[in-house]
Amino acid sequence: GAGVSQSPSNKVTEKGKDVELRCDPISGHTALYWYRQSLGQGLEFLIYFQGNSAPDKSGLPSDRFSAERTGGSVSTLTIQRTQQEDSAVYLCASSLGYGPLPTDTQYFGPGTRLTVL
Amino acid sequence: AQTVTQSQPEMSVQEAETVTLSCTYDTSESDYYLFWYKQPPSRQMILVIRQEAYKQQNATENRFSVNFQKAAKSFSLKISDSQLGDAAMYFCAYRNDYKLSFGAGTTVTVRA
């Protein structure tokens, strides 16, 4: 079946502009995750959704970052007033459930490479 | 907080040979999961292998196997009969609830 998809694949923006990154999880997966991969910080957890609610937003680096999920499916990560340090690859993952079971393995999308000039 | 350490930034292996990637982690939990993910230049993170901490038997997936030493908090990945398609960055990851904590990664180069 179809895997996790993300769009756009690449995004170049100017400092101060807002951007929206989209994630389409695997059909039927209830949990969705956003991670950020940057040269300096490696892979960092950003936020996690159970259905449409986000019990853990602890990884969002600042209040310029927000995310929502609608219909228990598509999620959008929004970065307002982008800064150069926001340049990174943003990865989305989904899992069938959100517990410690093997079926809760996270499957990743191809990521969005964001470049802030 | 859990930390995952991969001490080998780069590893090189001859095609058809074996390479072992190291990973150590720090946790006070007794029940958790460990993973190896592969990330080729396409950026897609691909699950290679998974190990449940409560299982003593080491996980194996075709040419990929792990050496899980719970007391030592060590989780190494062995790639046997290396193929050109194995060239990628490999990440060790820990999970005890829902959040994955990743190591810094090891870049594997396969020489023809």
Residues in chain B: 112
Matching residue, tokens 């996690």:
A48
Do the Cβ atoms of B43 and A104 come within 8 Å? Answer: no
DSSP letter (8 states) at residue A25: P
At B30, the amino acid letter reads: S
**pLDDT (tens digit, 9 = 90+) per residue, B2-58?**
799 999 999 999 999 999 999 999 999 888 899 999 999 888 899 999 999 988 899
At B70, the amino acid letter reads: K
**A33: closest chain B residue by CA:** B99
Please name the member of B31, B47, B102 whose beta carbon is closest to the beta carbon of A100: B31
Q: How far apart are the first and last CA of chain A?
A: 37
DSSP letter (8 states) at residue A13: E
Residues of B within 8 A of A105 (CB-CB) are 35, 47, 50
Question: Across the beta sheet with A19-24, what order do the strands follow?
Answer: A5-7, A19-24, A75-79, A65-69
Please name the member of B96, B103, B104 whose beta carbon is closest to the beta carbon of A100: B96
Please name the member of B50, B97, B99 whose beta carbon is closest to the beta carbon of A105: B50
Confidence class for position A39, pLDDT limits 50, 70, 90: confident
